[in-house]
Amino acid sequence: MTDFFTMASLVFVVGSGIRLATPFLLAGLGETIGQRSGVLNLGVDGVMLLSAFGAYWTILETGRPVAGLLVGLGVGLVMGVVYGVVTVTLRAEQGVSGIGIFLFGLGMSDLLFQKKVGTPLPIRGFGDWHVPVLSRIPVIGEMFFQHSVLVYLAFLLVPVVAFLLNRTTFGLNVRAVGENPAAADSLGVSVARVRYKTILLANGLAGLAGAVLSIELGIFQQNLTNGQGFIAIALVYFGAWRPVGVMGGALLFGMVSATVLQWKTLGLVSGAASSLTAMAPALLTIVALVVISRTVGQPAALTRPFERGR
């Protein structure tokens, strides 16, 4: 166990935890915006998969990571339009619609991958960007300031989303629509318009999360996300629908995963204990979810379609 309590080990765990948290954070921030307006999207994982493929294929064809990132974002926005039409305009049940989006994304991303690419070929992403001056600080620099630019982007979005939700008129409308859409409507706020905007933002960020995943891994494979979109949804509950809380949950999940990886690499856990520790991130999240759900209420209109006069 003494091998674990070294500075090198700590640097790895923190750096790895931050990297692992990034896709969860992006998707979770988007889902937070959506849920605050009363829209649950269980299709996050499907959107991530389609965007991950879109970004991967674009980079494979063009060699340009920026183009891949934009395509991933674009795919997310397109899926947002689809989800908006289904859940806001057609007022379909959100849970089932989200599962439909997930299954569509899972199947379509694999189909496109098989038809357009076939054998997985590596791509080159952005690479790590060492933040000038800060990256040279001993220990701290290596932990926090030697990551891909996409990692910094994700964490910078936390205060941006928090500001958007808590300090702007748009954010006020989002929260009003998520708590009491009838009251918001009576005050002249277009519930449909607000929800379309939040769905686009949510899916756009889910698209970015998927793109980040394939770009950072430098590869695409069937079901690349491995359920990360669903964990991101759980982290929204974990974070009590607040951007900072979602970031905390994502970091906790990432750090625990990284710690378990480091334990295994150093041979500190093996056999049955190894299997048990692999469940640790999920178990911790569930425990936290139970605790938080008893103390914090979800947006009152979450999952409820709005229809004026009903």
Partner 1 sequence: MQMRRNRKWMGLAAVLAVLAMLAGACGSDEEAVDDGLFRIAVVAPSASNDLAFTQSIVDAVHVLDGVDVIDITDGTFIVADAAAAVRGYAEDGYDLVIAHGSQYGGSLQEIAKDFPDTAFAWGTSSDTFGLDNVSAYTAASDQGGYVMGAMAAVMTSSGVVGVIGPIAVGDAKLYVDGFVNGAAAQDPSVTVNVNYIESFSDVALAAEAAEAHIANGADILTGTAQMVVGATGVAAENGAKWFGTQSNQTALGEDMVVASQVYKWEKALQGIVNGVKNGDLGGSAHSINLENGGIVIEFNDGVDAGDARAIGEGLIADIKARMVDTGA
Nearer to partner 1, 186 or 265 (CB): 265
Does residue 2 belong to the site contacting partner 1 (CB under 8 A)? Answer: no
Region 24-53 residues binding partner 1, contact defined as CB under 8 A: none
Candidates 3-11, 160-168, 199-207, 234-242; binding stretch for partner 1 (CB under 8 A) = 3-11
Q: Is the Cβ–Cβ distance between 10 and 186 less than 8 Å? A: no
Run of H or E residues at 210: helix 191-217
SS3 assignment, position 128? strand
Among 99, 108, 131, 219, binds partner 1 (CB under 8 A): 219
For residues 40 and 95, is the Cβ–Cβ distance under 8 A? yes
Residue 192 touches partner 1, criterion: CB under 8 A: no
What backbone torsions phi and psi does residue 61 show, to the nearest 5 degrees?
Answer: -80, -40
Helix (H) or strand (E) holding 152: helix 149-167
Asked if 262 interacts with partner 1 (CB under 8 A), we say yes
Residue 120 engages partner 1 in binding (rule: CB under 8 A)? yes
Q: Which of 2, 119, 169, 295 binds partner 1 (CB under 8 A)?
A: 119
> Dihedral of CA 220/223/227/229: which sign?
positive
Nearest approach, Cβ of 255 to partner 1 (angstroms)? 12
- Alpha-carbon span 127 to 147, nearest angstrom: 8
- C-alpha 240/C-alpha 243 separation (Å) is 9
Tell me the closest approach of the beta carbon of residue 163 to partner 1, in angstroms. Answer: 29
Q: Which residues bind partner 1 (CB under 8 A)?
A: 8-9, 11-12, 16, 19-20, 23, 110, 113-114, 118-122, 127, 213, 217-219, 221-224, 226, 228, 257-258, 261-262, 264-267, 271, 274-275, 278
